[in-house]
Chains A and B, each alone.
Chain A
């Protein structure tokens, strides 16, 4: 599923990241790589998403999130 479908306070594993070179390099260097575990902190319409991963709170534009596929972790 796409990252933007994950509900607030759920955790997920990143399975795939797609996009142009610039996007890939930005998203990788801020720590979102395949296999990495993230927690969705905020998922409000018309706001960037807020995810927490590798000790870092990251704000992600919703459009950019489209390229990130995840698998939800069932707690």
Chain B
């Protein structure tokens, strides 16, 4: 197959670039109905007409300015000549605004064509767009398109070939006339020679100089002689910057759209949903309720996979019996049964949850609820140094911290992303919520409600303090930008694409998680294994350091389950019950991870051996400990920083022990 062109997908946020990319390449970029999902360039390929094309999905940005690294990377990628053709996407339902990218692109010398995406949405809104007229004025191919409609892709391929064969470039003469009205523009433009910077026209560069684009100015300084550059600087003094050039761009767009521009009519109807979510009284409550219902609903699609987990577990006894009947060594049987089968049972149950949560939250995203959630929480999150978007990872973390950490990917500022993940760790996950009420009920009866309230309050204080502790380093004052974001119109969900995406995500998680869990469970099992069934390295260590752990209110059995809870909160209770019943706790640990532990006589065992203050200390220590190894892996993956991941782990370990200490001593005062 011969190599075809490389295509770059360019457009404002939420214009449908990743939807198009996924459909072309079969890959699975994050798609959803709110601006700013794609944060890194991603490449893929597809073949058409016997040629292999490469295509790059670029992060959406409102313009090609130098305000963020992504924008600079995007425009350099395009102008460097790596892309042979640029596919510019605009959202037909918000055409005027979303054509700004086209106006900002005009003047870059790479051939391009224009996709008027979301034609279906515009049609539903009764907007009529005359693509032919726009094409004539622009001088590049223009097509109405729907990235979600597979049948319409023929027009994409045809237009692509047309743009390539014609080498089509935007006719910029009208735009240049607009710019000429700006003071200083003409002087600067004349001072910049053709090809001063490869790929950009003098018009484009002059406009960027007026916009005080530091990257362009620095490059010009390097390439031009000092005299010319100083004259450019002179001409740029006291000019009116992005406001003037932006005005020109929009006037050009208005002319381009002519009669088709429908923006004259500025009336808006808030949809019923928006009247609820955006309401100042019940907006927050409605959002929280939606998310809680979402979390509950996510158990329904989770059930089948959880069932698979149970089925895997049911295999354990027959497999182990079978192996021992054929004379397999005890050690191997235990590894297969207690480590491998148990781990897979646990993995499948967790995957069920990941599947459910991704599906439900993916749906909320696709429809457009996510954007409203960010809006409602922007102020609250701002107080923590975060953006409205950060609230989503927090909410997801009530189910699964790993999901929360992965969800933080959408936060475009690295420092805010790390801080969001660090705070999300303080949110007790689903497994912790399964454990807390049970333990609390055993020890405190109806007082369990009080414990749960105390946990929630501690969580809020914890997050607030953690934001102060890490915030200063992670989020600089000048990076704390407030929200400037579009609220996209609601979309009907596209079930096929959604399921494909969710299944893909689940598969990726499966591969990643399996490695981590097998490794960690294996190590833990080895450490607690001893041929006699009692002892093992963990036991020796536990007993040896008991004088220290007692200080935090944790006898060695509770301390070991606290350690186990760092691997997975599911394990904590099982380990306790095994340790106090004096059984082989190496086995108990892995059993407990998959919920197979025998906890029937747990309450009498615990009440006989553990005091109330100790129980309280343990509940706090376990809840606010590192969430689990999978969350740890996800945190490293999203932050790309071993240093920060390690800091967060150490911080949480220390804080959870301090909380245990405080809880223990308060408990001593009460009881």
Q: Which of A19-48 contact B (CB under 8 A)?
A: 21-31, 33-39, 41-42, 44-48
Query: Quick check: B486 and A59 within 8 Å, CB to CB?
Result: yes
Q: Contact string, A53-66, partner B, CB cutoff 8 A, digits 1/0?
A: 11111111111100
| A72 interface contact, C-beta 8 A | no
Report the bound CA distance from A57 to B266 in whole Å.
11
- Say whether B262 faces chain A, with CB atoms less than 8 Å apart: yes
Q: Which residues of B contact A39 (CB under 8 A)?
A: 266-268
| Minimal Cβ-Cβ distance residue in B for A62 | B482
Asked whether any CB of chain A lies closer than 8 Å to the CB of B128, the reply is: no
A55 touches B482 (CB 8 A): no
**Which residue in A24, A53, A59 is a CB contact (below 8 Å) of B266?**
A53
CA distance A57 to B242 in the complex (A): 22
> Quick check: B266 and A11 within 8 Å, CB to CB?
yes
A8→B424 CA distance, assembly (Å):
35
Q: Is the CB of B484 within 8 A of A25?
A: no
Q: Chain A residues near B211: list those with CB within 8 A.
A: 21, 25
Shortest CB-to-CB span from B306 to chain A, Å, is 38
Out of B65, B283, B481, B489, name the residue touching A29 (CB < 8 Å).
B65
* Contact pick for A54, options B96, B245, B481, CB 8 Å: B96
Q: Is the CB of A55 within 8 A of B250?
A: no
Q: A61-B378, A63-B482 in contact; A33/B246 too (CB < 8 A)?
A: yes
Tell me if A47 and B379 are in contact (CB < 8 A): yes
Residues A25 and B63 in contact, CB atoms below 8 Å apart: yes
Given known A-B contacts A36-B250, A55-B94, A24 and B484 have beta carbons under 8 A apart: no
Q: Does B212 contact A (CB under 8 A)?
A: yes
B63 contacts A58, C-beta separation under 8 Å: no
A29, B379: Cβ atoms closer than 8 Å:
no
Q: Are B270 and A41 in contact (CB under 8 A)?
A: yes
Measured in the bound complex, the distance between the Cα atoms of B94 and A62 in whole Å is 24
Give bound CA distance, A23 to B266, whole Å: 24
Do the beta carbons of B100 and A29 come within 8 Å of each other?
A: yes
Q: Are A57 and B247 in contact (CB under 8 A)?
A: no
B485 at interface by CB-CB < 8 Å = yes
CB distance from A50 to the nearest CB of B (A): 7
The complex places the Cα of A35 from the Cα of B12 at a distance, in Å, of: 22
Q: Is the CB of B484 within 8 A of A64?
A: yes
Contacts of B100 in A (CB 8 A): 29, 31
Q: Report the minimal beta-carbon distance from A59 to chain B, rounded to whole angstroms.
A: 5
Inter-chain CA distance A24–B241, complex, in Å, is 8
Q: Smallest distance from the beta carbon of A61 to chain B beta carbons, Å?
A: 2
Chain B residues within 8 Å of A24, by CB: 241-243
Q: Is B376 interfacial (CB 8 A cutoff)?
A: yes
When distances are taken between beta carbons in the complex, the residues of chain A under 8 Å from B486 are 30, 56-59
Closest residue on chain B to residue A55 by CB atoms: B94
Choice from A48, A52, A55 contacting B378 with Cβ under 8 Å? A48
Known contacts A28-B63, A48-B375, A53-B266, A58 near B485 by CB under 8 Å: yes
Among A27, A36, A53, A55, the residue within 8 A (CB) of B484 is A27
Contacts A11-B266, A21-B211 given: A26-B96 contact, CB under 8 Å? Answer: no
CA distance in complex: A73, B211 (Å): 29
B62 touches A29 (CB 8 A): yes
Known: A39-B266, A41-B270, A59-B487. A21 touches B482 (CB 8 A): no
Cβ–Cβ contact B97 & A55, under 8 A: yes
The answer to whether A17 has its CB under 8 Å from any CB of chain B is: yes
- Are A55 and B270 neighbours in the complex by a CB distance under 8 Å? no
B375:A59 contact, CB within 8 angstroms: yes
Cβ A21 vs Cβ B241 within 8 A: yes
- 239-265 of chain B: CB within 8 A of chain A: 241-243, 245-247, 250, 262-263
Chain B nearest CB: distance from A69 CB in Å? Answer: 12
Could you tell me if B95 and A55 are in contact, using CB atoms closer than 8 angstroms? yes
Q: Name the CB-closest residue of A to B374.
A: A59
For residue B84, CB closer than 8 A to chain A, the reply is: no
Given known A-B contacts A22-B67, A56-B97, A60-B483, A35 and B280 have beta carbons under 8 A apart: no
Give the contacts of B72-110 with A (CB-CB under 8 A). Answer: 93-97, 100, 104
Please state if A26 and B484 are interface contacts (CB–CB under 8 Å). yes
- Chain A proximity of B325: nearest CB distance (Å): 67
Give per-residue flags for A8-19: 1 if the beta carbon is below 8 A from chain B beta carbons, else 0: 000100000100
Q: Which residues of B contact A44 (CB under 8 A)?
A: 280
Whether A33 lies near B250 (C-beta < 8 A) is yes
- 29 example contacts (A-B, Cβ-Cβ < 8 A) are as follows A21-B211, A24-B241, A25-B246, A26-B62, A29-B104, A31-B250, A33-B246, A37-B266, A41-B270, A42-B278, A44-B280, A46-B280, A46-B379, A47-B283, A47-B379, A48-B388, A50-B278, A53-B263, A54-B97, A54-B250, A55-B96, A56-B96, A56-B97, A57-B268, A58-B485, A59-B487, A61-B382, A61-B481, A64-B481
Not counting A46-B379, A57-B486, a sample of 10 additional A-B residue pairs whose C-beta atoms are within 8 angstroms of each other reads A24-B243, A26-B484, A29-B104, A41-B268, A42-B278, A50-B375, A52-B266, A58-B485, A63-B482, A64-B481
B residues lining the A interface (CB < 8 Å): 12, 62-63, 65, 67, 93-97, 100, 104, 211-212, 241-243, 245-247, 250, 262-263, 266-268, 270, 278, 280, 283, 374-376, 378-379, 382, 388, 481-489
List the 9 shortest-distance A-B pairs measured between CB atoms, nearest first. A61-B482, A28-B246, A29-B63, A29-B62, A44-B280, A31-B97, A24-B242, A57-B487, A25-B65
> Chain A interface (Cβ within 8 Å of chain B)?
11, 17, 21-31, 33-39, 41-42, 44-48, 50, 52-64
